[in-house]
């Protein structure tokens, strides 16, 4: 998962408050010790695996070592809180850093947090917990009244139980990200900081696909009724109209092997025009979230321009396929419509986003 750093507004998180860190950063050395000092923090509690060092490893990066050394120099008390099943490794790590380590009941139990507060004689507000897991480090800290800083997990494999926690974490964080206080500029400058499903374009494509699904149903229903269902005087409309087209414009409709196939382009035009209006309404408000009413008429015109060019493609592709796909006409009409819809959807997305609504130019 990609990681978006920043400060969280915990007032906004509601029921998820207990899972919400005060702060998210990419790695431990990026945490400003001056800021912690300014916030009157004097006790730093640290998780081990994927926060200080990779799982099972014992070699600290020079940046981590420098950060720890500076923290000590500035007068912070530091201590490790760990659930590890390998106390010897924990002891070696703590000795290397020259700080204390507590082992206790599994986080998110408040047990180890309380041990540390008591040992150093601090109040919860004076402490900060730094860890890479929401379900243990952050939740445990919040339950103890301690601010938590959530760091991105280091690269590399992890304990199998941790993987389960990560799934819960993904669920919780995708909701929490909405309460992240980050200037819009910063996100624009580096959209790569956003988790995949939080990226504007990904959301737009998903929503556009959803709207497209509705438009497709509208389009197909109208088309199906026109070509296959509506009859006048005991004969299908598509056959009557198709024969008329073949009689009067034999050159244009010579592609058609049956009268109803000649009528197909007309049915496509009517159905698509209705579907396009649906697409305009829903994509404008739901997909691209256009707020102001300014230029609404122009946007509608542009959606129709994009749509009619797309329909040209649609007529070419679906009529061509309806004409050549063998088998029952019900099947031919469905297959040809699906193929054309996929290609035309891509065209329409690009046309609406960059030409009609021009959302890429906004924040
Ligand atoms: Mg960890």
Q: What's the pLDDT tens digit per position in 85-140?
A: 889 999 999 999 999 999 988 999 999 999 999 999 999 999 999 999 999 999 99
Tell me what pLDDT residue 33 has. 96
Give the domain-ending residue among 154, 171, 196.
Answer: 196
Q: Please indicate, yes or no, whether residues 175 and 33 belong to a single structural domain of this protein.
A: yes
* Ligand 1 center–CA 198 separation, angstroms: 24
In a domain, 245, yes or no: yes
* Ligand 1 center–CA 50 separation, angstroms: 5
Beta pairing, strands 6-8 & 23-25:
antiparallel
* Ligand 1 center–CA 298 separation, angstroms: 54
* Ligand 1 center–CA 51 separation, angstroms: 6
* Ligand 1 center–CA 106 separation, angstroms: 12
Q: Which of 85, 93, 95 is nearest to 160 (CA)?
A: 85
* Ligand 1 center–CA 199 separation, angstroms: 27
* Ligand 1 center–CA 91 separation, angstroms: 16
In a domain, 291, yes or no: yes
pLDDT cut 70: percent of the chain above it: 93
* Ligand 1 center–CA 125 separation, angstroms: 22
In a domain, 303, yes or no: yes
* Ligand 1 center–CA 102 separation, angstroms: 14
Q: How many CB atoms lie within 10 A of CB 14?
A: 10
Q: Please indicate, yes or no, whether residues 226 and 182 belong to a single structural domain of this protein.
A: no
* Ligand 1 center–CA 280 separation, angstroms: 48
In a domain, 130, yes or no: yes
In a domain, 43, yes or no: yes
* Ligand 1 center–CA 105 separation, angstroms: 15
Q: Please indicate, yes or no, whether residues 72 and 149 belong to a single structural domain of this protein.
A: yes
* Ligand 1 center–CA 71 separation, angstroms: 20
Tell me what pLDDT residue 234 has. 87
In a domain, 177, yes or no: yes
Mean pLDDT over 31-54 rounds to 95
* Ligand 1 center–CA 101 separation, angstroms: 14
* Ligand 1 center–CA 133 separation, angstroms: 6
pTM (global) more than 0.85: no
Q: Please indicate, yes or no, whether residues 95 and 244 belong to a single structural domain of this protein.
A: no
Mean pLDDT over 131-156 rounds to 94
Domain around 149: 6-196
Mean pLDDT over 154-173 rounds to 84
Is the pLDDT at 182 greater than 90, yes or no? no
Going by pLDDT thresholds of 50, 70 and 90, the confidence category of residue 197 is: low
Q: Please indicate, yes or no, whether residues 63 and 187 belong to a single structural domain of this protein.
A: yes
Mean pLDDT over 62-76 rounds to 96
* Ligand 1 center–CA 148 separation, angstroms: 13
Out of 15-29, 292-306, 323-337, least confident range: 323-337
Output the average pLDDT for the chain.
88
Q: Please indicate, yes or no, whether residues 244 and 343 belong to a single structural domain of this protein.
A: yes
Going by pLDDT thresholds of 50, 70 and 90, the confidence category of residue 163 is: confident
Give the domain-ending residue among 147, 171, 196.
Answer: 196
**Which CATH number does the domain housing residue 181 bear?**
3.40.50.1000
Q: Please tell me the total count of domains within the chain.
A: 2
Q: Please indicate, yes or no, whether residues 50 and 156 belong to a single structural domain of this protein.
A: yes
Give the domain-ending residue among 196, 225, 242.
Answer: 196
Q: How far, in Å, CA of 181 to CA of 363, rounded? A: 15
Residue-level length of the chain: 363
* Ligand 1 center–CA 48 separation, angstroms: 6
Q: How far, in Å, CA of 21 to CA of 244, rounded? A: 71
Q: Please indicate, yes or no, whether residues 65 and 158 belong to a single structural domain of this protein.
A: yes
pLDDT cut 90: percent of the chain above it: 54
In a domain, 260, yes or no: yes
Mean pLDDT over 159-187 rounds to 74
Is the pLDDT at 185 greater than 50, yes or no? no
Q: What is the 3-state secondary structure (H, E, C) of the chain?
A: CCCCCEEECHHHCHHHHHHCCCEEECCHHHCCHHHHHHCCCCEEEECCECCCECCCCCCCCHHHHHHHHHHHHCCCEEEEEECCCCHHHHHHHHHHHCCEEEECCCCCCCHHHHHHHHHHCCCHHHEEEEECCHHHHHHHHHHCCCEEEEECCCCCCCCHHHHHHHHHHHHHHHHHHHHEECCHHHHHHCHHHCCHHHCHHHHHHHHHHHHHHHHHHHHHHHHHHHHHHCEECCEEHHHHHHHHHHHHCCCCCCCCCCHHHHHHHHHHHHHHHHHHHHHHHHHHHHHCCCCCCCCHHHHHHHHHHHHHHHHHHHHHHHHHHHHHCCCCHHHHHHHHHHHHHHHHHHHHHHHHHHHHCCHHHCC
Q: Please indicate, yes or no, whether residues 84 and 219 belong to a single structural domain of this protein.
A: no
Going by pLDDT thresholds of 50, 70 and 90, the confidence category of residue 10 is: confident
Q: Please indicate, yes or no, whether residues 167 and 206 belong to a single structural domain of this protein.
A: no
Q: Please indicate, yes or no, whether residues 190 and 240 belong to a single structural domain of this protein.
A: no
In a domain, 1, yes or no: no
Q: Which of 107, 119, 179, 115 is nearest to 143 (CA)?
A: 107
* Ligand 1 center–CA 104 separation, angstroms: 15
Q: Please indicate, yes or no, whether residues 206 and 349 belong to a single structural domain of this protein.
A: yes
């Amino acid at each position: 998962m990609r990681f978006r750093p920043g400060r969280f507004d915990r007032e906004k998180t509601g029921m998820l408050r207990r899972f919400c860190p005060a702060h998210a950063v990419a790695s431990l050395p990026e945490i400003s010790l001056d800021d912690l000092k300014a916030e009157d923090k004097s006790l730093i509690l640290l998780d081990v695996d994927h926060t200080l060092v990779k799982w099972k490893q014992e070699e600290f990066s020079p940046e981590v070592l420098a950060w720890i050394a500076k923290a000590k120099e500035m007068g912070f008390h530091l201590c490790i809180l760990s659930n590890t099943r390998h106390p010897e490794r924990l002891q070696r790590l703590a000795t290397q850093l020259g700080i204390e380590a507590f082992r206790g009941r599994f986080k998110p139990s408040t047990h180890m947090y309380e041990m540390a507060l008591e040992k150093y004689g601090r109040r919860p507000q004076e402490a900060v917990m730094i860890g890479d897991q929401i379900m243990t480090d952050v939740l445990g800290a919040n339950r103890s009244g301690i601010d938590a800083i959530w760091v991105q997990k280091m690269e590399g494999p992890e304990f199998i139980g941790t993987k389960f926690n990560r799934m819960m974490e993904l669920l919780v964080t995708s909701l929490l990200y909405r309460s992240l206080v980050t200037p819009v500029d910063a996100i624009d400058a580096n959209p790569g900081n956003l988790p995949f499903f939080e990226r504007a374009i990904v959301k737009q494509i998903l929503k556009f696909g959803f709207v497209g699904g509705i438009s497709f149903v509208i389009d197909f229903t109208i088309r199906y009724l026109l070509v296959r269902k509506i009859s006048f005087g005991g004969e299908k409309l598509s056959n009557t109209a198709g024969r008329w087209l073949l009689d009067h414009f034999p050159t244009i409709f010579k592609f058609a092997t049956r009268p109803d196939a000649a009528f197909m382009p007309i049915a496509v035009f009517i159905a698509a025009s209705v579907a396009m209006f649906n697409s305009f309404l829903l994509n404008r408000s739901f997909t691209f979230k256009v707020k102001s009413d300014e230029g609404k008429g122009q946007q509608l015109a542009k959606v129709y321009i994009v749509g009619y060019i797309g329909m040209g493609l649609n007529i070419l592709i679906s009529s061509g396929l309806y004409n050549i796909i063998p088998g029952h006409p019900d099947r031919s009409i469905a297959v040809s419509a699906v193929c054309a819809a996929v290609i035309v959807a891509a065209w329409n997305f690009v046309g609406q986003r960059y030409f009609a609504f021009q959302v890429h130019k906004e924040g």
